[in-house]
Amino acid sequence: MSMYFVGIDISKYKHDCCIISAADQKIVSKFTVKMIRQVLSSYSLF
């Protein structure tokens, strides 16, 4: 079974995520999610 570290940086306008393999400490995936009002509205947060 593989283990991974996940780091998430949350800010007002975007969220950054990085997934790193615990075995060899190489980046498996990294991506950014931009927050827009329409996305937030769909979750009934506002």
27-32 average pLDDT score? 92
6-16 pLDDT tens trace? 999 988 888 99
User: Model-level pTM?
Assistant: 0.63
Confidence bin at 46 (pLDDT 50/70/90): very low
Spell out the residues 6+ positions from residue 30 whose beta carbon is closer than 8 angstroms to its own: 16, 17, 18, 19
Do the beta carbons of residue 37 and residue 45 sit within 8 Å? no
